Structure 1
Amino acid sequence: MDLHAIIIEDEQAGLDNLKNILLSCCSHVKVIAEARNIEEGYLVLTDKSLQPDVVFMDINLNNELVFNLLDRLDSINFEIIFVTAYQQHAVRACAYSSIGFISKPIDPSLLKEAIERVRIGEDEDMKDRLEVFRGHINHMNPFKKITIASLDEMHFIHIHEIVRLQSDDNYTIFHTKNGGKIIASKTIKSYENMFIPFNFFRVHRSHIVNLNYIQKFIKGDSAHLIMMDGTKIDVSRRRKGPFSEKLKELQKELA
């Protein structure tokens, strides 16, 4: 299925390079319009005759943030993939908000992966995802909320509501404090580093737990945790030592 695309890029060389890569590795992506600045971008995005499926855009356009453009739109009925050298917090912000991100210089294989994740007709929540993204990139509302992409939906959830993450082959099951479950279409490894700053710990190859929801830590040869909801979680032999050290660090912080 063809994807109709718009490119918003302030450097002509960067725009031409992206078009050439798309032509060589993603021929089903048809570029229907281009823009070099905020005003041109606004004109093409409000042109009802274009109807793009995906828009590739730089975060920084002629020393202006692209949010100055996006905030002017009444609705965003397309997917966004940021293609930029603007690295400050951007990769992490995109991960938390489930927005595509490709850094310059462009790796064709990563571009192809980002395009494969584009979901036509499921972009009603893009405004919400951008709000999550902007909160992370500006540190205005740092790391309070995450966007989780399941097979059919986008879920917006506060990090403190997540009790544990459970591996299920190429998927991850998020267990929330109200007993809910969200099945994400990513492996548990892709979330591991993301949650470290918020007192989550990978205690087993199949589990990452929120330390705030641990009720007991049973030591010994068959080390395991008892969570607040009564769930038993095994602690692997390899991770038992680092996990014990993490608990000691937290105790020192509370002392």
Structure 2
Amino acid sequence: MIKAVIIDDEEHCRETLSMQLDKYCPDITVVASFPSATEGLHYLQQTPPDLLFLDIEMPLMNGFELLEKLPAIPFAIIFTTGYDMYAIKAIRFSALDYLLKPIDRDDLQKAVGKFQRKSIAQMAQQIEILVEKLGAKKARQKIALPTAHGFDVIPTDIIIRCEADDNYTHVVLKTGKSLLVSRTLKEIEELLAGDGFLRIHQSHLINLDELQRYIRGEGGYVIMSDNSSVPVSRSRKEVLLNRFN
């Protein structure tokens, strides 16, 4: 039996989630429920569960601040949240799971199913990436990229470029390796926004630090550090040139 804890400042959210788990996820037993991160913190330190359902937006101490106070996190986490673009981006960057309120039954079952297929070691690594993304640590930034076998954790600065392939993306690395990632180029672009990456074509996203030359033309093209040529669309040419002016 999987032991779960719920931390959420809204009573009706705690009760609803507990009832949904009892009805739709019979392998999970809710062993404790807390209305604040402060109250839940001591319990987690003394009696860590298998799985924590953690609300993000809470007064006094939010869900992310709770994680920063834990010296170790030997359990899995599924976040529950209203629409918060920054929080969701940080969670997606780490490839962790989250549920938007009001929580849908199918989404809940999918998130629980993913949890059951992952190891605690994998999730600990993902949580470390999340905390890093939120600025709690100033270490080299990393991203978790979902692939066919699970996910690969890589520093963002070793990415040279990304190329769309329908609902997948080829991520080309400085190591010479290319990862086939089960995310669209648009999703990858959103995750890497602000980290020195630029969409220069409908099918191409590049790391500007790895750009070697720009060749003029109708849209032109760029030469990257791996000697690959990447086209620049007419609509993105001005955006690219403005980044260097």
Shorter chain as denominator, the TM-score bin is 0.7 to 0.9
- Distance in 1 of aligned mates of 2:108 and 2:6: 14
Q: Which amino acid letter does the alignment assign opposite residue 35 of structure 1?
A: S
- Distance in 2 of aligned mates of 1:247 and 1:133: 30
Mapping of residues 1-255 of structure 1, within 5 Å: 5-22=4-21, 26-27=24-25, 30-36=28-34, 37=36, 38-40=38-40, 42-43=42-43, 47=47, 52=50, 54-60=51-57, 63-66=60-63, 67-68=65-66, 71-72=69-70, 74-76=72-74, 78-85=75-82, 87=84, 89-108=86-105, 110-118=107-115, 120-138=117-135, 141=138, 144-220=141-217, 223-235=220-232, 240-252=233-245
SS of 2:170's partner is: strand
SS of 1:229's partner is: coil
Residue 163 of structure 1, CA deviation = 0.5
- Distance in 2 of aligned mates of 1:168 and 1:158: 22
How many aligned residue pairs are there? 242
Unmatched tracts of structure 2, length 5 or more: none
SS of 1:251's partner is: coil
Unmatched tracts of structure 1, length 5 or more: none
Residue 80 of structure 1, CA deviation = 1.2
How large is the RMSD of aligned CA atoms in angstroms? 3.4
Does the Cα contact within 8 Å between 1:147 and 1:157 map onto a contact in 2? yes
Give the stretch that moved more between structures: 90-99 or 177-186. Answer: 177-186
Q: Quickly say closer, same or farther: Cα 1:155–1:13, change in 2 above 3 A.
A: same
Q: TM-score, normalised by structure 2?
A: 0.77
SS of 1:209's partner is: strand
Q: Which amino acid letter does the alignment assign opposite residue 125 of structure 1?
A: Q
Residue 133 of structure 1, CA deviation = 1.6
Q: TM-score, normalised by structure 1?
A: 0.75
SS of 2:128's partner is: helix
- Distance in 2 of aligned mates of 1:242 and 1:162: 24
- Distance in 2 of aligned mates of 1:207 and 1:62: 41
Q: Quickly say closer, same or farther: Cα 1:223–1:115, change in 2 above 3 A.
A: farther
Give the stretch that moved more between structures: 36-45 or 147-156. Answer: 36-45
Residue 156 of structure 1, CA deviation = 2.8
SS of 1:183's partner is: strand
